[in-house]
């Protein structure tokens, strides 16, 4: 199975980062290709992704949840995939390691779709990581402003 790994440090405590990751249905805010994530119950979600003019849909179940250290899922339909977030406290925040494995059902798909899938999944997960990191920075800046009595919104440079 092909594996895609990401590793990033987020400027927040593990509890805060885990809470953002666990809000799975908000993932479309963080990745342009993700059209929707619909909760089917507390641990199962239907993902809809648009890529290269095609729409892909699959159901995913969270199979292991150990806040704030680990969240693991596997697909129940569509392209077979599993993934894991591992969080650890580091100086300056939280290190998040994301690992996604996927399997295309036959060699022809693996050679054709697989070539496009790997960069696409890498792009989506990388974009989501960066946007979550940015959201955490903005939240911290707003919280700091509120604590100091400054009501002015911080500016991006």
Kindly report the pTM of this predicted structure: 0.78
Q: Which residues pair with 82 in a beta bridge?
A: 74, 101
Homologous superfamily of domain range 3-139: START domain (3.30.530.20)
Give Cα 74 to chain centroid, integer Å.
14
Domain limits, the chain: 3-139
pLDDT one digit per residue (tens) for the chain, 157 residues: 678 888 888 889 999 999 989 999 999 988 888 999 999 999 999 999 887 788 889 999 999 999 999 999 999 998 788 999 999 999 989 999 999 888 766 666 566 555 666 677 777 777 888 888 888 788 777 877 777 765 554 444 4
What pLDDT, on the 0 to 100 scale, is given for residue 154?
43
Residues 57, 63, 68, 70: is their CA dihedral positive or negative? negative
Q: Give the count of alpha carbons within 13 A of 25, CB side only.
A: 8
Sheet of 70-75, strands arranged across: 3-10, 93-103, 80-90, 70-75, 54-66, 44-51, 34-39
């Amino acid at each position: 199975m092909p594996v895609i790994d990401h590793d990033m440090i987020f400027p927040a405590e593990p509890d805060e980062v885990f809470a953002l990751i666990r809000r799975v249905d908000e993932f479309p805010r963080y990745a342009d290709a993700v059209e929707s994530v619909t909760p089917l119950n507390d641990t199962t979600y239907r993902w809809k992704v648009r890529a290269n003019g095609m729409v892909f849909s699959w159901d995913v179940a969270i199979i292991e949840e150990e806040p704030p250290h680990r969240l693991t899922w596997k697909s129940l339909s569509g392209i077979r995939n599993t993934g894991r977030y591992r969080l650890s406290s580091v100086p300056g925040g939280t290190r998040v390691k994301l690992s996604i494995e996927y399997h295309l059902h036959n060699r022809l798909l693996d050679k054709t779709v697989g070539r496009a899938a790997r960069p696409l999944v890498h792009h989506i997960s990388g974009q989501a990581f960066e946007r979550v990191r940015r959201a955490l920075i903005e939240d911290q800046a707003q919280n700091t402003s509120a604590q100091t009595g400054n009501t002015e919104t911080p500016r991006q440079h």
